[in-house]
Amino acid sequence: MTKAAKLKDFLSGSFIETSVERVLSATGAILPIVFETFQSSATGKRVDIRLEELPGFGMNVFSDGDGWLVLVPKGMALRLTALLRLLLPYYTDAEASPYYLNSPLDEFNEEMFWTPPSVAAIFEDYDSVEQLRRGLERTVFTRPLDPANYWCDIEGMVNIAILYVLMHEIAHITNGHFALREGIERNFALSDFNLSQDDAWRCLELDADQSGTWNFVFLLALEAVTPPFDDKAFTRLAMRAGFAVPALLGLWDHRKKTVGAFKKERYLPPTIRHRVFAEAASLAVAKLMPADHQRVWDALELDGWKRCVLAFHAVTFDLGTQDQPKEKLLWPLGSLVYGGLASNAVLSEIYSEEIDKLKRFRAWRKTLIL
Ligand SMILES: [Zn+2]
């Protein structure tokens, strides 16, 4: 298929269908590697992964008799595609730091939460994939895009983000989280480790993020490190991952949250999750890839994150000047309130506290297993 033909595909509605099917086949292509590498040794159980006609935002994992079933909603791939389509025109070389160091979005009030109709379809609930698809086609997919610069990246980034989530879900399975959930629900000796139930729920997610990121990089390495080492492929992967992972976290974060909520609830803010990703990925690259690549990875990953934050902010203010009700702060993309906190002392403190809890959680886990 020529570039022009693919472009036509993309601009016509059929891109959505094609993209979902491609995500499915990309996911399918990953499976044998996942099984061989992690599953049989870690669990001795079968893991089925299926793309389903679900309009949701995230994957679901079920214990399925003698194995596991991971459901990947088509809605998730569609929403990611739409969000990247929204963000990528704002991909820019402009200096990002004024936005993410002192974001005007730092000061916000939940009452001001408001999503412009032109992008609401990405974040709304729908009963069916078809309904979601129609909602996106009427709104986000009518927004202008300069595909000459970006078109080929959207699908790749969606695939990367799906892989990231898949590795997160599989980490829940391989790290024995389903058994741990029972322990948390029964509040089994958590206080001996100075953990609340909500702390423990967040630790499950952090644990899955850390292990999942390791396996995610491992799979990227398999693609990039097939000898001879392909520097271009590696660079491209790092750039895509650097942008796609924060975009995904932003998608999930949209319906959340006040800055203080995670202190007492189960919620992990995206900047915390992003930092876990950045640190785990960096270590994994150092271990799994040729020398020097960690430096390149770190720079590109950080750059992708900055650009993603900048794009979230830019689209927020851009839409705000178009259709914002006067009494509302423009708030289409809630996650990036945390963008402004990402480098400051408050976030660092929260992050260290969470990592400290994760250590205590792992000590608690040992007492359950032994
Ligand atoms: Zn999870």
Please give the distance, rounded to the nearest whole angstrom, from the Cα atom of residue 288 to the centre of ligand 1: 24
Please give the distance, rounded to the nearest whole angstrom, from the Cα atom of residue 344 to the centre of ligand 1: 26
Q: What count of other Cβ atoms lies within 10 Å of the Cβ of residue 292?
A: 9
Please give the distance, rounded to the nearest whole angstrom, from the Cα atom of residue 172 to the centre of ligand 1: 7
Of 23, 25, 12, 8, nearest to 75 by C-alpha is 23
* C-alpha to C-alpha distance for 328 and 109, rounded to whole angstroms: 10
What is the full per-residue pLDDT of the chain (370 aa) written as tens digits?
443 343 234 333 334 445 556 655 665 666 566 656 555 455 567 788 888 889 999 999 988 777 888 888 989 989 998 898 888 888 776 665 554 555 555 555 556 666 778 888 998 899 999 999 999 989 888 887 765 556 557 877 888 888 899 899 989 988 889 889 999 999 899 999 999 999 999 999 999 999 999 988 887 776 655 556 667 778 888 888 999 999 998 888 776 555 455 555 677 878 788 889 999 999 999 998 888 899 999 999 988 888 888 888 778 777 766 655 554 544 445 555 454 444 556 677 888 999 999 999 999 999 986 5
Please give the distance, rounded to the nearest whole angstrom, from the Cα atom of residue 123 to the centre of ligand 1: 19
Provide the pLDDT for residue 93: 66
Please give the distance, rounded to the nearest whole angstrom, from the Cα atom of residue 157 to the centre of ligand 1: 20
Please give the distance, rounded to the nearest whole angstrom, from the Cα atom of residue 63 to the centre of ligand 1: 15
Please give the distance, rounded to the nearest whole angstrom, from the Cα atom of residue 143 to the centre of ligand 1: 32
Please give the distance, rounded to the nearest whole angstrom, from the Cα atom of residue 56 to the centre of ligand 1: 15
Amino acid at position 209, single letter = D
In sequence order, what are the beta bridge partners of 63? 68
Please give the distance, rounded to the nearest whole angstrom, from the Cα atom of residue 267 to the centre of ligand 1: 11
Please give the distance, rounded to the nearest whole angstrom, from the Cα atom of residue 170 to the centre of ligand 1: 9
User: Do the strands 60-64 and 46-52 form a parallel or antiparallel pair, or are they unpaired?
Assistant: unpaired
The answer for residues whose C-beta is within 8 angstroms of residue 34's C-beta and 6 or more apart is 47, 49, 166, 170, 215, 219
Q: Which pTM value belongs to this model?
A: 0.85
| Ligand 1 is an ion; residues with CB less than 5 A from it | 205, 208
Provide the pLDDT for residue 283: 96
For the chain, give every domain's residue range: 3-369
Provide the pLDDT for residue 154: 80
Please give the distance, rounded to the nearest whole angstrom, from the Cα atom of residue 171 to the centre of ligand 1: 8
Location of structure tokens 């870690």? 42
Provide the pLDDT for residue 12: 35
Dihedral over Cα of 225, 228, 229, 233: its sign: negative
Is residue 301 a contact partner of residue 278, using CB atoms and an 8 Å limit?
A: yes
Please give the distance, rounded to the nearest whole angstrom, from the Cα atom of residue 203 to the centre of ligand 1: 10
Of 103, 114, 99, 100, nearest to 329 by C-alpha is 114
